[in-house]
């Protein structure tokens, strides 16, 4: 059984999980921008449901272990584990965004633009990962791996730029830990996407 065939047999399980992570990213963006508690609840529900579906898929995969080649099992198990970390990181976005909403913390225009860029890029990467699951397209793998690497670097760059703005008094001190927490969780998600692509290359 080829790796592609083994993966395609699990697309029915992978599709709804990744789709929920895409929707959760959009809900997080909306909660961040609009201080929407309903969007925050939606993001948390999507993250929680995705985690439950991943857990069920891992149990299903474990039941198929005897029939699968070792390499195929390890690859699929790795994909689910990376998605599991992503769902956890998405859930962790709730804390800084909730504090931003509760305390009415204002971000600088630059920080808002950077955060929205990261949310948008993250959603695009998730869609690309899902397309890779369905097509095994080599060019899409190269593109997605490059975009994930750029996202990870952007998180580091934005953190450095934020420190400069903070020193210059352009950002509120109370915004700093919230912004950095958002950057870190999105960075972790980008790393998981990059690792998934590597598993399929």
Full residue range of the structural domain in which residue 84 is found: 3-199
Task: Say how far apart CA 59 and CA 72 lie, in whole Å.
Answer: 15
Task: Say how far apart CA 9 and CA 15 lie, in whole Å.
Answer: 11
DSSP code, position 104: T
**Do the Cβ atoms of 201 and 159 come closer than 8 Å?**
no
**Do the Cβ atoms of 123 and 22 come closer than 8 Å?**
yes
**What is the reported pTM?**
0.92
- Give the position of tokens 């700093």: 176
The percentage of the chain sitting over the pLDDT mark of 90, rounded to a whole number, equals 75
Task: Could you list the beta-strand ranges (E) of the chain.
Answer: none
Task: Say how far apart CA 8 and CA 2 lie, in whole Å.
Answer: 10
Tens-digit pLDDT profile for the chain (201 aa)? 445 556 777 888 999 999 999 999 999 999 999 999 999 999 999 999 999 999 999 998 888 777 767 788 888 999 999 999 999 999 999 999 999 999 999 998 999 999 999 999 999 999 999 999 999 999 999 999 999 999 999 999 999 988 887 777 777 789 999 999 999 999 999 999 999 999 998
pLDDT at 37: 94
CA distance to 17, 86, 172, per residue, from 163 (Å):
35, 26, 11
**Do the Cβ atoms of 154 and 115 come closer than 8 Å?**
no
Q: How far apart are the first and last CA of the chain?
A: 17
Domain containing 80 — which CATH number? 1.20.58.220
The domain tally of the chain equals 1
DSSP code, position 59: H
Phi-psi region of 83 (alpha: psi -120 to 50; beta: other; left: phi over 0): alpha
Phi-psi region of 35 (alpha: psi -120 to 50; beta: other; left: phi over 0): left
């Amino acid at each position: 059984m080829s790796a592609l065939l083994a993966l395609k047999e699990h697309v029915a399980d992978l599709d709804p999980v990744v789709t929920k992570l895409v929707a959760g990213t959009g809900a997080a963006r909306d909660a961040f921008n609009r201080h929407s508690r309903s969007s925050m609840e939606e993001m948390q529900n999507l993250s929680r449901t995705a985690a439950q579906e991943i857990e069920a898929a891992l149990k299903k995969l474990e039941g198929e272990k005897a029939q699968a080649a070792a390499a195929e099992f390890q690859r699929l198990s790795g994909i689910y584990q990376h998605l599991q970390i992503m769902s956890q990181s998405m859930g962790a976005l709730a804390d800084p965004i909730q504090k931003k909403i509760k305390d009415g913390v204002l971000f600088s225009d630059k920080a808002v633009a950077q955060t929205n860029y990261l949310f948008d890029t993250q959603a695009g990467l998730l869609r690309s990962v899902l397309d890779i699951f369905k097509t095994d397209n080599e060019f899409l793998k190269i593109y997605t791996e490059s975009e994930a690497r750029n996202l990870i670097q952007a998180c580091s760059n934005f953190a450095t730029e934020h420190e400069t703005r903070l020193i210059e008094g352009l950002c509120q001190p109370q915004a700093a830990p919230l912004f950095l927490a958002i950057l870190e969780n999105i960075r972790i998600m980008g790393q998981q996407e990059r690792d998934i692509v590597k598993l399929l290359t």
